[in-house]
Structure 1
Amino acid sequence: MSYADNLFIQMCRDIIETGTDTRGEKVRPVWEDGTPAYTIKKFGVVNRYDLAKEFPALTLRRTAIKSCTDELLWIWQRKSNNIQDLNSHIWDSWADETGSIGKAYGYQMQKKHMYKEGLFDQVDRVIYDLKHNPYSRRILTNLYVHEDLHEMHLYPCAYSMTFNVTKEAGQEKLTLNGILNQRSNDVLAANNWNVCQYSILLHMLAQVCDMQVGEFVHVIADAHIYDRHVPMIEELIQREPFPAPRLWLNPEIKDFYDFTREDVKLLDYQTHPQITEIPVAI
């Protein structure tokens, strides 16, 4: 059965059974009707996925792989902060009348910085180092730029990706591993969405840098289940997982900037019915 499903079930049970409740506290998020959006939360959740063994898409319900790929490419490839460049509507609540979400996400990715080798934005610097200095311990991105926070319509949740390359015994190719640091994670709405996104990113970068994928580590400071999501989570984790799907990534793509959402597919992806009409706190 799917490792990702079992890990998700254990995490959710741990949050519900041993987490702390924010009811009655002063909280920022609200529901659309203005009611405070309280959570049950756990501090410091760390989940590890071996991408060489399986792709960690949930089978308890379907993760929309093309939509989450599109958002990933919106940030990392198109380096956009405007929802008009995004095919879904997940960012609509945080966009202004021009479609901008402020100096967040893609805006930070496209800013160029000076290095001894010249000017690079954060994505190009990662690719350069993976190709030219793979054993560097300094290959990372950071979206949490304090001087720009006041001009971001939402502070970055998944804010830092650290890449680390290893040489596995008996393997010709180097292995690309990654750690995603996330300050806040809505477990029902976004947990597996983020896991799939950054697992796909590792697969993409490994392919264009002639590496193989290794471990993806997801570090969450505040993993929470919203009060109105608890019944949905309880239903979800009662389901029996199916076998994990297989990831297909277009093998013809050798340049990261050539990937599209159509170059990513999940094969043999059997899932339980989707949970619909999930309320989103803003």
Structure 2
Amino acid sequence: MSRADDIFVAMCRDIIENGTSNAGQRVRPHWEDGTPAYTIKRFGVCNRYDLREEFPAITLRRTALKSCMDEVLWIYQRKSSNIHDLHSHIWDEWADEDGSIGKAYGYQIGRKSSYPEGEFDQMDRVLYDLRNNPFSRRIMTNTYNFDDLSEMNLYPCAYNVVYNVTQATGDDRPTLNMLLVQRSQDVLAANNWNVCQYAILLMMVAQVSDMVPGELVHMISDAHIYDRHVDVVRELISRPTFPAPKVRLNPNVRDFYDFTTDDLVVEDYQHGPQVKDIPIAV
């Protein structure tokens, strides 16, 4: 059975059974009808996924893997913060009349900084360091720029990615690992979406760096289930599970900027029925 299902079910049970509620408190999110959107949460959740064992897609319901990849490419490859450059509609609620979500995500990744070797944006610097200094402990991206928060339509949730290379004795190639830090997460709507997104990003970066994709460690400061999601989550985690799907990339792509969603190959993805019309707090 999928290890990602086991992790997701355990996390949701822990939140529901041991979490704390903010019902009645002053909260920013609200439902479409204007009602405050309260949550039950756990602080400081840490989940580990080993891509050498399986791809971490849950099978309780389907995660749209090509859409996950498209959003990753939107941020880290196209470096865009305009929804007109994105093929899904998940960011529509936060876009202005021109389609912009402000100086968030892709905008931050595309900002250049000066180094002794020249000017690099954040993603280009990651790729440079993995080629030239792979065992550095300084390889990361960060989209939480305090100077620009006032010009972001939503503060970044998954904001910090740290890359770390290991190579055990006898390994033919180095292993690329990733630490993803997230300040806040709507567990029902976004958990496995984010996990699969960054698993795909790890796979892409590892491939073009001639490394093996290894562990994805996902740290969530505020992992929460919204009040209107609790019953949906209870039903979801009671479902049967299936083996993890087989997910791979086109091995011929050697440049990060050449990847498209057509290069993602998904096979044998068995899953339960989709959960439709999930209300989203904004």
Q: How does 1:51-70 map to 2 (within 5 A)?
A: 51-70=51-70
Deviation at 1:122, TM superposition (A): 0.2
What displacement does 1:214 show? Answer: 0.9
Structure 1 residue 144 and structure 2 residue 167: aligned? no
The aligned counterpart of 1:184 is 184
Determine the structure 2 residue equivalent to 1:251.
251
Q: Is the 8 A contact 1:50 1:215 kept in 2?
A: yes
Structure 2-normalised TM-score? 0.99
Structure 1: unaligned runs, 5 residues or longer = none
CA distance in structure 1 between the aligned counterparts of 2:182 and 2:265, rounded to whole angstroms: 25
Map Cα deviations across residues 183-221 of structure 1 (whole Å, 9 max, x no partner). Answer: 001100000000000000010011000000110000000
Count residues with an aligned counterpart. 282
Query: For residue 161 of structure 2, what is the aligned residue in structure 1?
Result: 161
1:22-76, CA deviations, whole angstroms, 9 ceiling, x for partnerless residues?
Answer: 1001100000000000000000000000110000001000000011110110000
Percent identity, please. 66
Q: CA RMSD in A?
A: 0.5
Opposite residue 2 of structure 1, the aligned amino acid is: S
Aligned to 2:102: 102
Structure 2 letter corresponding to 1:161: V
How far residue 262 of structure 1 moved from its aligned partner, in angstroms, is: 1.1
Unaligned runs of 5+ in 2: none
**Aligned residue number for residue 223 of structure 1:** 223
Q: 1:280 aligns to what?
A: 280
Instruction: Provide TM-score, normalisation by structure 1.
Output: 0.99
**Cα offset for 1:276?**
0.5
Structure 1 residue 265, shift from structure 2 partner: 2.3
Secondary structure, counterpart of 1:161 in structure 2: strand
Q: How does 1:1-282 map to 2 (within 5 A)?
A: 1-282=1-282
Decide whether the 8 Å contact of 1:65 with 1:265 is kept in 2. no
2:79 alignment partner AA: K
Q: Deviations over 1:221-267 (max 9, x none)?
A: 00000001111100000012100111121111000000011111221
The letter of the residue matching 1:54 is E
Q: Distance in 1 between matches of 2:191 and 2:218?
A: 10
Question: Tell me, what secondary structure is at the counterpart of 1:168?
Answer: coil
